[in-house]
Structure 1
Amino acid sequence: MPPDSPSAGRRGYAVLAFTICFVLLFSGSLLRDYDDPLAQLRRTAGEGRWKQFFGSSRATCGISPSMLDEFGLHNFRLSQVHVGSGYRTQRFLEKAQKGKTLRVGLIGGSVSLGHGTDPVTGQRNKYGAVPVQEQWHQIVMRYLEEAFPTAEFHFRNGAKAATDSSFFEWCWTSLIGTDVDLVFIELAVNDDPNTSFSSSENLLRSLLQLDSQPAAVYVDTFSLYNTFAGKQQTLLSAQDIQSTLSPFYDVPQISARPALLPALIRDHSLKEPWFLGDERHGSTSLHRFLGSMVIGYLMEERCRVEELALAAGEGGDWPSRAALGTVPQVTMRERWNSTETHATKPPTCVTAGAGLVPANEPQDWKLVDWKYSKFYYEAAVPNSDEIVFDVDVREGAQGLVAISYLRSRQYNLGRARCMVGERGADIDGHWENSASLAQTTIVADKVPPGRHQVRCRTLAADGSSGRSAFRVMGVMSV
């Protein structure tokens, strides 16, 4: 039959139509598999065929279609302030895929304790106003347990209200331990963006230098008012410090602010569904959004595991993969070729209500608590007797000894003097900041390894104000 005959033409169209239908049906199944974040776990047969066809597992996972339908791809993109290489996160996910036992730690503030106004009773300043199972980190943990059913996850919530990086850089070891595999850091609304750069960086460095080489992820919510040290209210927060540290230390940063804050500025009515009785603590809805953004990031990192392993660019003058996961020898506050040395071992810390016990029997100091969530050793009189605490300095530490104390414009707080041997510091527990926060002051430096003692006593009442009390929260070394 001639090739240009009507019958040949019809046959050609039929073949073309059949081919198109086959491609559409086949590609549809691939797209369904791509959209399903758990497809790689459930699929055992034929896995080699998928990889052979695509060259990697990129087509078999990603952000789930239900999450994309609800939140929109643009919100996931906006939330990923910084992603980086993904090296540490991917290593954590690979361990989970192999069914390992993994420890997940959280360092955060009152947001991560579900703080806010109880929507039922109207009680303000309630921890757990957002129920535990609806807090952002528990949403993430449920995803990990579902996505990696053969792994065993242990979660450690080291969140502590009214604290910031100046406390956590010294005391995180007492809250989440030193054998963690993944650490979430939620301190964007706690840290003062004007003063916390150093403590934020020290905290991050000490986490990344652990023997377990954990992955770290900044997870940021936001506040509608940020007033620090009596300065004008601003939308700036410690997220803007983290945005500088993240690329330098190759740490991802996931935040609710880029998507939600501009939307709230356009529509003020969104404040009520997103915040829980104030302008600082997120509601259940905001927790769900933040947790979902973290899950979306983790889903995408699962897809990138093989891409990183197969990445080219190992020669010439450019950095190789071998450098991934290493911590720069210098901080961002130093010269690139600085010869300064920094602690390579984690800090030590013991806090009131969690193991800190005086080495003597003071008469003027008492252990007090605030709503069974914050504990202090308090002296309420001027010129008190001494309270003495033991402190250990590790080999490989910088030799700094410090105390953590409450600073507030409330509670009649005044001044105290703390000493290590013949060295010490006078510390003021009062400030005009509207927030009551744990602060840290170095008492002595160049302290040799071994056991030492910190001695504290209150000083004379502060002038006409009569402020004389002082609250010690913890004793630490680094």
Structure 2
Amino acid sequence: MFAVLAVLLFFAEHAVSQLPAHLLLENEVGKWPFYMRGKGKYRWVLTKRARENGLSYVGSNERLRAVLDRAMQGKPIKVAAIGGSITAGQGAVDAPNWPQYVLNYLQDELGEKVVSLANGAVGGTLSAYMSVCHNMHIPKDSDIIFVEYSVNDWHNPTPAFQNNVRRPFERLLRKLLNYPKRPAVVMMHQYIWYQAYPFEGSFWNNAEREFQEFAMYYQIPTVSIKACCYHLLANNTVGFDTRKQRYRKANDLKEIAYYYDAVHPDGRTGARVSAELVMHLMQRTMDDLTANKLSPEDGEVVAAPIPPPMIPNNRESVSDKCFIGNIFVGVVTNKDGFEWVNESKSMRPKFGFVATKPGSVLDMMVDTRATAASTAANQKDVLVEVAYLRSYEHMGQASITCVSGCKCQESTLEGHHEEQNSQLHLHHFYASQHSNCTIQVKVLDKTKSGEHKVKIAGIMVSEEEGQHDGIRNNLAVEYVHDISTRSKDNTFEVNNHA
């Protein structure tokens, strides 16, 4: 009863916004501005006041100043985006997703040949996955990287920060900040009204709070839907209406509902508003550069080493840990009886190393060192995950052994199952740490199907030593593996899905 009363009291208190809607929206309430392209032609949904409210942390912003200074001189820059299904574009059914809106704006203002975008976001993934597999999703020569995990990562993991949710998130940030071109990392905080905790529409309880600690520690610019637009959502202002989701009546609720479904902002409303916060940050920085030219001191800040981890002893790994798709080919050192083939019967590629005869051998060499801080005296084994095909026909078994550099207990990979499907799965085992760990897959005589086919599609190494869950997201690994083989640089790009 107390919980119900608390919810009723909450909505009674929030029935009227702290600010009238006309102070937050450029157009008359109820008239959504038409989306226009072209230099200086964009029509804002949000007022400058609302956009400024959405900049939850900016700081001195040297990295973004340095990147946009180059772009304003006509020098090409690469923008990348990672995150979950919101960033990947789910919900944007008849309008751009938010990274595409940002790209359109930057290309209109700076030139189509100046700015390019790589969207490496994958629905249903956590930052822990991306921390291991960032090399599969982000070009190493990126200049700006957008990071969106506030709704995918668990809100209140314990103990605070020293847990398997926040630790990999910090390591991901550290890796991105150390990319070769010292990119500007920007955090995007999304907000899902229907999944707020402890009750629908509550404000205070999600991962954004703890992510802000990282933003301040590493001086990472951050934009926030809650900071910008919470009261518009609470008041069900036109374009921010949370009472109905657009998919229920797609035409009737166009430019009225903020969300397309229970999770994803609609492309015409929520995605556009999200983009406007980033676009405002970009324009604000360019305006600042016009008034205050890039200085040698700015360059010193950009080049300076990042601070030690905020979470004690949370060092990032010293090498890439994720090898799927075409990148996997590069870690194979011997393929006696295995061949790299595409087994797809559709437009979606299905590459992998395939063998059908017992005794066939595939050797893979990877770096299994967990962190730069590990020493021989205190090292623990790390989790290794091999992506392999399981199917209801033709499949056999293979042994997994460590044959050089590292040590591991021999294990058996079983490719046959009774379910009428064929999917990649992840085989887990632990190996000792070594810079050149050679792992061997050998096709066995044993079989449950009467045949001996074994297909290997990738290998991933944990960045954190000791016992833990690992990626354990075989569907995401299969999706990324398949789609990444379509790209020129072997990274995953969501627009290659079609």
Shorter-normalised TM range? 0.5 to 0.7
**In the superposition, relative to structure 1, how do residues 310 and 179 fare at CA in structure 2: closer, same or farther (>3 Å)?**
closer
1:220-231 equivalent positions in 2, closer than 5 A: 220-226=189-195
Instruction: Tell whether 2:131 aligns with 1:144.
Output: no
TM-superposed CA distance for 1:362, in Å, is 11
What are the within-5 Å matches in structure 2 for residues 401-416 of structure 1? 402-403=383-384
Whether 1:475 and 2:449 are equivalent positions in the alignment is: no
How many angstroms does 1:162 deviate by?
A: 1.6
For the 8 Å contact 1:360–1:388, the answer to whether it is kept is yes
Which residue in 2 is equivalent to 1:114?
Answer: 89
Q: Whose helix proportion is higher, 1 or 2?
A: 1
Distance change (3 Å), C-alpha of 1:419 and 1:83: farther
Q: Tell me how far apart the structure 1 counterparts of residues 135 and 61 of structure 2 sit (CA, whole Å).
A: 24
- SS of the aligned residue for 1:176 comes to coil
Tell me if the contact between 2:368 and 2:431 (Cα under 8 Å) persists in the aligned partners: no
Q: Equivalent of 2:286, from 282, 302, 319?
A: 302
Distance between the aligned counterparts of 1:346 and 1:103, measured in 2? 22
Corresponding position of 2:309: 331
Name the CA distance, whole Å, in 1 between partners of 2:266 and 2:343: 29
C-alpha distance 275-246 of structure 1, shift in aligned 2 (>3 A): same
Matched, 1:241 2:243: no
Q: Distance in 2 between matches of 1:196 and 1:106?
A: 20
Distance 1:157 1:386, change over 3 A: farther
User: Is residue 396 of structure 2 the alignment partner of residue 390 of structure 1?
Assistant: no
Separation (CA, whole Å) in 1 of partners of 2:57 and 2:276 = 16
The answer to whether structure 1 residue 83 and structure 2 residue 58 are counterparts is yes
Mapping of residues 66-465 of structure 1, within 5 Å? 67=43, 70-116=45-91, 130-131=93-94, 134-149=96-111, 152-193=114-155, 194=157, 195-226=164-195, 236-267=205-236, 268-269=242-243, 272=246, 273-305=257-289, 322-324=300-302, 326-334=304-312, 342-343=315-316, 345=318, 347-351=320-324, 355=328, 390-393=364-367, 398=372, 402-403=383-384, 421-423=406-408, 443-444=430-431, 446-448=433-435, 450-453=436-439
CA contact 1:167–1:439 (8 Å) conserved in 2 = no
Aligned to 1:430: none
Q: Deviations over 1:382-413 (max 9, x none)?
A: xxx9997724229996478544699xxxxxxx
Residue type matched to 2:271 in 1?
A: H
Distance 2:350 2:147 in 1: 22
Task: Say if 1:308 and 1:164 are closer, same or farther in 2 by CA, change over 3 A.
Answer: farther
What displacement does 1:352 show?
A: 5.6
What is the alpha-carbon distance in structure 1 between the residues aligned to residue 142 and residue 264 of structure 2? 29
Tell me the secondary structure at the aligned position of residue 210 of structure 2.
helix
Percent of aligned positions with the same letter in both sequences? 17
Calculate the aligned-residue CA RMSD, in Å. 5.2
SS at match of 2:67: helix
Change (3 A) 1:281 1:289: closer
Change in 2 beyond 3 A, CA 1:139/1:181? same
TM-score (structure 1 length as normaliser):
0.59
- Equivalent-residue separation in structure 2 for 1:456 and 1:222 (angstroms): 48
Q: For the residues of structure 1 that align with 2:208 and 2:347, how far apart are their CA atoms?
A: 30
Shift of 1:302: 0.9
The Cα of 1:79 is off from its aligned counterpart by 1.2
For residues 164-184 of structure 1, give each alpha carbon's deviation from its aligned partner in whole angstroms, at most 9, with x where no partner exists: 111111111122221111111
2:254: which partner in 1? none
CA distance in 2, matches of 1:328, 1:77: 27
- Taking structure 2 as the reference length, the TM-score comes to 0.57
- State the distance in 1 between where 2:410 and 2:307 align: 30
Displacement after TM superposition at 1:142 (Å): 1.0
C-alpha distance in 2, partners of 1:105/1:348? 20
**Aligned partner of residue 183 in structure 1, secondary structure:** strand
Within 2, Cα distance between the matches of 1:85 and 1:146?
A: 26
Shift of 1:72: 1.7
Superimposed CA distance per residue, residues 111-146 of structure 1 (whole angstroms, 9 cap, x where no aligned partner): 122224xxxxxxxxxxxx535x61111111111111
Residue pair 2:102, 2:275 contacting (<8 A) in 1 also: yes
In structure 2, the CA distance between the partners of 1:223 and 1:148, relative to structure 1 (3 Å rule), is same
Cα drift, residue 152 of structure 1: 2.4
